[in-house]
Amino acid sequence: MVNILFAGGSHRWPQYQAPLRHALDAAGLSEAVLATDLPPAEVDYIVYAPTPDGFTDFTPYTRCKAVLSLWAGVEKIVGNASLTMPLTRMVDDGLRAGMIEWVTGQVLRHHLGIDRLLANQSGDWRPEVPPLARDRPVTILGLGALGAACAGSLTALGFPVTGWSRRPKDLPGLTCLSGPDGLTEALRRAEILVLLLPATPETDSLLDAARLSLLPEGAVILNPGRGTLIDDDALLDALDSGAIGHATLDVVRQEPLPPEHRFWAHPRVTVSPHVASETRPDTASEIIAENVRRAEAGEPLLHLVDRAAGY
């Protein structure tokens, strides 16, 4: 008997129960028990998302073979010393599609100057024709499941895309850079900068004052990655001076963003309240079920978190 504990939050259980059951049945696991409440010592797999009312001590789950995160970003649990079993993160079609739509939409918004058109209610008839996509360099920091997918969508539209990752990469249609010199070069090129890095000690405040100053005058920053990637004070200084033209922030250091935070009222900031892309129960359930099937069959798990790298 395989026992699967759903620990993704009581509010998510109604959305996940049926798709997970369906996916488990389709994966040949119709005998598996799926519940939100099981004796810890009898749990084989934990489907997990950090929630305020959830648990963070994995010690009692002595039989657990894997923790399967519903989220792509695992910074809240990757350093948990009681989580000694394999940990997987979420990579799924729904998450990928949502991020492609958000990033492509935001890049086009800034590329085409849509904000200027929306604000023009004064009969101003001075055409400011935007350049073609091929003349608007975009840089993406992070070329993983989401960064690479967004790069593909942007290159298909004609944008010259430069990507930067920890390990060197060779992806068709874009310039791939790595290392400190690669980061400098990637930032110098970025009229529009997209952050799709994970939150790790190495990426904390990666975009500080010195690196912000490498961006072209008036560059636009899109952050659907994690709030910790940016030094907020340095960003606000750069926005105040106009060195950075706009920042669209889907993620921030403190979520929800406190009402008094300067980002809300800043004329050069758009706050997008962590809506860029969400795990979709139907597609995510297939990944969870496939990983349980693999573990039961002794096959390698998909999307294992590299605990040393932190993502």
Helix (H, G, I), strand (E, B) or coil at 178: strand
11 scored as a contact of ligand NAP (CB under 6 A) = no
**CB of 133 or CB of 276, closer to ligand NAP:** 276
Helix (H, G, I), strand (E, B) or coil at 39: coil
Q: Helix H segments across 120-249? A: 145-156, 179-189, 209-212, 232-241
CB of 145 to ligand NAP, least distance (A): 4
| Residue whose C-beta lies closest to ligand NAP | 144
Question: Distances from the Cα of 12 to the Cαs of 8, 19, 70, 97, 208, in angstroms?
Answer: 6, 12, 11, 20, 36
The binding track of 21-50 with respect to ligand NAP, each residue x by CB under 6 A or -, is ------------------------------
**CB of 63 or CB of 303, closer to ligand NAP:** 303
Say if residues 68 and 279 touch (Cβ distance below 8 Å).
no
CA 164 – CA 143 distance, rounded (Å)? 6
CB of 310 to ligand NAP, least distance (A): 8
The binding track of 160-189 with respect to ligand NAP, each residue x by CB under 6 A or -, is -----xxx----------------------
Q: Count the neighbouring beta carbons within 10 Å of the beta carbon of residue 164.
A: 24
Q: Is 96 a catalytic residue?
A: no
202 scored as a contact of ligand NAP (CB under 6 A) = yes
CB of 34 to ligand NAP, least distance (A): 24
Which residues, in sequence order, are CB contacts of 209 under 8 Å at separation 6+?
231, 234, 237, 238
User: Comparing C-alpha atoms, which of 207, 230, 196 is closest to residue 95?
Assistant: 196
* Residue of 266, 274, 303, 307 with catalytic role: 274
Among 252, 276, 287, 288, binds ligand NAP (CB under 6 A): 276
Report the interface residues with ligand NAP, using CB under 6 A. 72-73, 91, 95, 142-147, 165-167, 196-200, 202-203, 224-226, 250-251, 274, 276-277, 311
